[in-house]
Amino acid sequence: MCDKRAWLSPAKLNLFLYITGRRADGYHNLQTLFQFIDYSDSLYFDRRQDDKICLQTEFTLVPHDDNLIIKSANMLLTYMRQSQADFRPPFGIDITIDKKLPMGGGLGGGSSNAATTLIALNQLWQLGLSTPVLMQIGQKLGADVPIFIFGLSAFAQGIGDELVAIDVPEKWYLVVKPNVEIATAKIFNAPSLKRDSVTRRIDELLTTPFNNDCEPTVRALYPQIDDLINRLSQFAPTRLTGTGSCIFSECNTQEQAMQLQQHLAGEDVVCFIAKGINQLCR
């Protein structure tokens, strides 16, 4: 056993998300405000006697080699072999995960797992790679991976990878996952998606009511989400995170979030209460 500690892999919220254009490669340019919350998966890394990297937790819908945990480990090995052709990891690793973050929820769970894996292997194998280098490796796995390596709440531009750290009020959130998973690509490919927001300065964005350009498209496609946002908005500001399907209501206190949760008692949704955090402890 090389490491018994739980490596936390938290969720993010997009407090606002504006799409300012579509690039030639099909990706979209964004302006978004990332906030982490204290609701996380836990990953465990155990030393193996051989040099294999194995995910020991089964994901029913994701084949082993497609899992972002395994893809990120392989990406790290590829990077190392580019600079040292004969690179071999000092030991193999069994990875297990206690998965709490709903998949296809816009909380960035898969990206966060990839980031945590890169950070953990860099440390356990004593590779000495810097945060910017890990972010570069992570970006190849997904637009949301770099923010989880950066580890600070941030204003993001580009495809979500150009980051400037920013302290935001660490509010309480009621996060609601409707009974639907949404593939990010489906929303980014939707004909109705608003992709022409004007690029604005961060100070202007922070003083203008927050919105998510994906929300009208998602609400039109998923009536359950539309209904939940309508109802919760009567009590607290409520928006979509990323491309959904999760929504979050912003509360000033934990008690307010708990009261709000009571409105959803008995409904076909998963919900949890979490606090915003501006800096991840690694």
Ligand X SMILES: C[C@](O)(CO)[C@H](O)COP(=O)(O)OP(=O)(O)OC[C@H]1O[C@@H](n2ccc(N)nc2=O)[C@H](O)[C@@H]1O
Is 242 a binder of ligand X (CB under 6 A)? yes
Other beta carbons within 10 angstroms of residue 247's beta carbon come to 29
Q: What stretches of the chain show up as alpha helix (H) in DSSP?
A: 68-83, 109-124, 131-139, 145-150, 184-188, 202-206, 215-221, 223-232, 254-262
Closest CA to 270 of 58, 38, 26, 107: 107
Nearest distance in Å: CB 219, ligand ATP? 16
Does 105 show up as a binding residue in the annotation? yes
Q: Is 92 annotated as a binding residue?
A: no
* CA–CA gap between residue 77 and residue 225 (Å, rounded): 41
171 is catalytic: no
Q: How far apart are CA 192 and CA 156, in angstroms?
A: 23
d(CA 193, CA 100): 30
Of the candidate residues 67, 72, 111, 217, the single one contacting ligand X (CB under 6 A): 111
**What is the phi/psi pair of residue 86, to 5°?**
-95, 20
Is 103 near ligand X (CB under 6 A)?
no
In the complex, least distance from residue 234 CB atom to ligand ATP, rounded to whole angstroms:
26
Phi-psi region of 90 (alpha: psi -120 to 50; beta: other; left: phi over 0): alpha
What is the distance between the alpha carbons of residues 273 and 38, in angstroms, rounded to a whole number?
9
**Catalytic annotation on 12?**
yes
Q: Is 10 in the site for ligand ATP (CB under 6 A)?
A: no
The answer to whether residues 155 and 163 touch, using CB atoms and an 8 Å cutoff, is yes
Residue 10 contacts ligand X per CB under 6 A: no
- By CB under 6 A, residue 242 contacts ligand ATP: yes
Q: How far is the CB of 27 from ligand ATP (least distance, A)?
A: 13
108 is in an annotated binding site: yes
Residue in 41, 144, 215, 250 binding ligand X, rule: CB under 6 A: 144
Of 144, 171, 177, 213, the active-site residue reads 144
- d(Cα 185, Cα 142) in Å, to the nearest integer? 12
Residue 27 within binding range of ligand X, rule CB under 6 A = yes
When asked if residue 160 is in the footprint of ligand ATP (CB under 6 A), the reply is: no
The interface mask with ligand ATP, positions 182-221, x = CB under 6 A, is --x-------------------------------------
Instruction: Name the segment binding ligand X (CB under 6 A); options: 26-34, 52-60, 122-130, 246-254.
Output: 26-34
Interface with ligand ATP: number of residues (CB under 6 A): 18
Please tell me whether 112 is known to bind a ligand. yes
Nearest approach in angstroms of CB 61 to ligand ATP is 6
54, 48 contact by CB (below 8 A): yes
Interface contacts to ligand ATP, rule CB under 6 A: 62, 67-69, 103-111, 113, 144, 184, 242-243
Positions at the binding site: 102-112
Q: Which residues are catalytic?
A: 12, 144
